[in-house]
Amino acid sequence: MSTTLIEVRPAKAADAAAVAATHDEAWRSAYQGIIPGAELEKLINRRGPQWWDSAIRKGSRVSVLVFGDKVAGYANYGRNRARSLHFEGEIYELYLRPEFQGLGFGRRLFTAARRDLMQSGLKSMVIWALSDNDPATEFYRALGGRMVARSSEKFGPKSLDKVAFAWTN
């Protein structure tokens, strides 16, 4: 019998390619059929290894969940970008490779990102999800998020609704 180590840690520049691959797999799984194909490809291709390397080196808060020696997921977070919402922090992205979903890893990554935000003095936080992404909206509800705002975002010719979930201490 062997034990596999699972850890959440800050991303290093050496993780950039693995984070890019995770982003690619997770976005294809989550948004196929929701975001138009050409737009989805553009969004995925913009976030290649060089983009992640630059973001990590510039100090963006990116945490990775590592299962054994494989990056299984990542979270990107910081200050809330929506000034109209009175929450201090925001998780910008939280994604897992499809084969690691439904195992409690998303909850673990979410908890670590939220803890990091709180330790930085950002006591309340928000996260946005596309309304049509049922697994994400159900996940955030299950984590105790309450819906606090609605908006929309254009993806090429298509406008998609999105919802904000919030947590306070």
Residue 88 lies in a domain: yes
Residue 39 lies in a domain: yes
- DSSP string across 32-72: BTTB-HHHHHHHHHHTSHHHHHHHHHTT-EEEEEEETTEEE
Q: How far apart are CA 107 and CA 101, in angstroms?
A: 10
Tell me the CATH number at 140: 3.40.630.30
Residue 98 lies in a domain: yes
Which pLDDT does position 104 carry in this prediction? 97
Residue 113 lies in a domain: yes
**What domain range includes position 66?**
6-167
Residue 73: other Cβ atoms inside 10 A: 25
Predicted structure pTM score: 0.95
Q: Domain total for the chain?
A: 1
Q: What is the pLDDT of residues 7-19, one digit of tens each?
A: 999 999 999 999 9
Map 4-29 to HEC letters. CCEEEEECCHHHHHHHHHHHHHHHHH
Residue 71 lies in a domain: yes
Residue 52 lies in a domain: yes
Residue 1 lies in a domain: no
Each of the 169 residues of the chain gets a pLDDT tens digit; together they read 778 899 999 999 999 999 999 999 999 999 999 999 999 999 999 999 999 999 999 999 999 999 999 999 999 999 999 989 999 999 999 999 999 999 999 999 999 999 999 999 999 999 999 999 999 999 999 999 999 999 999 999 999 999 999 999 7
Q: What is the pLDDT of residues 59-73, one digit of tens each?
A: 999 999 999 999 999
